Chains A and B, each alone.
Chain A
Amino acid sequence: MPPEQADLVINLIDLSDEYYRISDPGGEDFLAGSIGQAGLISPPLIQQKSDGQYRIISGFRRIFAVGLLGWPKVACLVLGPEKPDLSCWKMAVADNALSRTLSLMEQARAASGLMRACGSADQAVCVAKGLGLSLNADLIRKLTRLMALPEEVRQAVARGRMSLNIAMGLETIDHASAGMLAGLFMELRPTVNHQQEFFTGLHELACLRRTAIASVLQDSDFASVLSDSDTDRREKLRVFRKTLRKLRFPELSRAEDLFDRRKKNLGLPDNMDITAPAGFEGTVYTLTVRFSGVLQLCKSAEILAGICRHPDLEAILRRSPDENP
């Protein structure tokens, strides 16, 4: 049966039922202003439930806006309770996808609903495509999985603070830890590479300590970084990374610090640098000398001759196993 037009009393609509919701909330004030001026041009789609109440299929923001205007009734298109779930999802997706570009979370809600109603990602892809929503099967699966993650994670992904792939990795950890990690990403705004570094490092520390990431993040070293309100975000990010590395790789970090200290003692001029082999595994060190003329090169050679006799260079190259490199 096609939907029937009706003026519904707003109080009969169960506003808490967001089963078919696709749209992100927000902007209702502006929408209320527009409806107040021009009227409700496009009626929301509503379905009567078996208990007599009504639920929204599409038009969540419109009905909320009408509520803000204080209208007792709203003109709707009403579907009967017998309308199949997939048909309702098709209408919800079509109404949203054809009117604007959906945000990632809106796509996730649509994908998750279609997956449920269709029973398979491949079927959902076909249905979505016909409704103007271009999603591949892999993305549909990922977005569906995203919907099962804690709200903090979904928010972090929606705001571009957490990559979808990192979010997928959080499925294997407890919700409290996933939520804390999302909060950390919201606060420090790490790049995608740094997100992976944080997740891997914290996860491995948690495995080593046989505890949860949430518990690792409560470690005093991390807590002191995060609670410092005087430090700006970039500095906090830098210190957090360094702290994580020290806890995850204590001996290697110690060796790096020792190398840096000794290198500093060498008093290299600005145009010279010495780099250690990666992980101190190989034995070949690299010396870089930047120069723009013969005079500067000769001067550098003189300085270098002095550095070659420096006890700290000897210590760097000796790499005694007792004291690390």
Chain B
Amino acid sequence: MKIRELYIQRDAVDFKAAKDISRRLSLPAQIVDHPDSVYHSIVKSADPEKAGKSVLLLTRNKGAFIRNCPGTSHYTCCGYQILHIGTYCSMDCAYCILQAYFHPPVLQFFVNHEDMENSLREHFAAGITGRIGTGEFTDSLIWESIFPLGARLIDLFSSQKACVLELKTKTTAIKHLLDFDHQRKTIMAWSLNTEPVIATQERQTASLSARLEAAGMCQNRGFPLAFHFDPMILYDNCHTDYALVVKRLFSRIDPANIVWISLGSFRFMPELKPIIARRFSGSKIIYHEFIRAIDGKMRYFKPLRMELYLRIIEEIRARAPDVLIYFCMEDQEVWQKCFGYTPEQFGGLPLMLDKRAATICNLAGKF
């Protein structure tokens, strides 16, 4: 993470995390009363989405730390809960929805960790099985170089049996986490994609080999693992390339250690299209056969995405017949035609995933 400007909101200055990060970054921190002044400096930039990746605002999360995933109607959501630790990402993926989701996109890290921990403890106390992740509004591990939040979270989750934490990343920032006594309550998860997609659409992310290597290291330390093929992108020979990723995954990882694998195809809010066209001029990903889906997002024409799903499911099943594969935001028809069942037949996708987490991660919460 290369931070060029550091801002701290006045009411966050005294938090330990703010002080630690200021010290570690060795940058003069500018104290601001309101984030608007930070936002203005980013909006004025010719490339605000890029500018926001080198400006860090340390602030308090004044809202809920634990939130429901913003799934859209008509498509099946996994019911995952988000631990809201910060916003945006220092890596630069063409397809990243965060470019259009935040106005303006800026790296924000919430430093009121005591509030966060209290929220988690309250949540744990309810004793209801749950899956909580930090990788929805940011990458889970990009912050580790400036603040070891992952380590603290692993520790917190290890002391309870209701919920599992999923740290989802495209980095390899895991070495300092390997020695923690995680009690299998933290799932280390990687977003996977093909070599051509990583090379052309995922700037500043770890290579596929490095991600699999990091996953292997976590596996050796007993961490449960998860993998997310999301977003899968259509291009010439993509079917062969995705099959190759599956082959490489299972040459390194034991299927018994995998809690789940998710599949999702590239989809985007229409507002993202001009941003990708402007920032990734050589990228062709927005010019495939998209239709405006029922939730207003652009999605690949359904038979095209089903064809890709069927191929990768076949590849995964051939190597890991028992691993739970699920779709992120797909409809009943896609589930039925690709898997031969819908989640409703098993009590719904959230329950399917909760049960899987309970089995692999030794959870003892209520369903």
Contacts and interface: CB of A to CB of B under 8 A. Distances in A.
A204 B289 contact: no
A324 interface: yes
User: Which of A208, A278, A321 has the most chain B CB atoms closer than 10 A to its own CB?
Assistant: A321
A282 interface: yes
Given A321-B306, A321-B307, A321-B310, A251 B301 contact: yes
A319 interface: yes
A250 B284 contact: no
B293 A279 contact: yes
B299 interface: yes
Given A280-B302, A321-B306, A252 B291 contact: yes
B287 A204 contact: yes
A249 interface: yes
Contacts of B293: 279, 281
Interface in B39-64: none
Contacts of B302: 279-281
A279 B301 contact: yes
B303 interface: yes
A207 interface: yes
A325 B303 contact: yes
Contacts, number: 47
A255 to B, nearest CB: 7
Given A319-B333, A321-B310, A281 B291 contact: yes
Nearest to B300: A251
B353 to A, nearest CB: 24
Contacts of B303: 251, 255, 280, 321, 324-325
Interface in B275-292: 284, 287, 289, 291-292
A251 B302 CA distance: 10
B291 A279 contact: yes
A321 B284 contact: no
Contacts of A265: none
A68 to B, nearest CB: 51
Given A255-B301, A319-B333, A325-B303, A279 B287 contact: no
Contact of A250 (B289, B292, B332, B337): B289
Interface in A272-294: 278-283
Given A207-B284, A208-B284, A251 B306 contact: no
A322 to B, nearest CB: 9
Given A279-B293, A321-B337, A252 B287 contact: no
B291 A278 contact: yes
Interface string B74-86: 1000000000000
B306 A252 contact: no
B299 to A, nearest CB: 7
Interface in B294-351: 294, 299, 301-304, 306-307, 310, 331-333, 337
Interface string A201-215: 000100110000000
Contacts of B74: 282
B359 to A, nearest CB: 31
A252 B294 contact: no
A311 B285 CA distance: 38
Contact of A251 (B292, B294, B304, B331): B304
A200 to B, nearest CB: 10
A207 B299 CA distance: 19
A204 B299 CA distance: 16
A208 B306 CA distance: 22
Contact of B294 (A207, A249, A282, A319): A282
B272 to A, nearest CB: 15
Task: Pick the 10 closest A-B CB pairs, nearest first.
Answer: A279-B291, A204-B287, A321-B306, A324-B303, A208-B287, A252-B301, A249-B289, A281-B293, A321-B303, A207-B287
11 contacts: A208-B284, A208-B287, A251-B289, A251-B304, A255-B303, A281-B299, A281-B302, A283-B332, A321-B306, A321-B337, A324-B303
Interface of B: 74, 284, 287, 289, 291-294, 299, 301-304, 306-307, 310, 331-333, 337
Interface of A: 204, 207-208, 249-252, 255, 278-283, 319, 321, 324-325
Given A207-B284, A281-B294, A321-B337, 20 more contacts: A204-B287, A207-B287, A208-B284, A208-B287, A249-B289, A252-B301, A278-B291, A279-B291, A279-B292, A279-B302, A280-B301, A280-B302, A281-B291, A282-B74, A282-B331, A283-B332, A283-B333, A319-B333, A321-B303, A324-B303
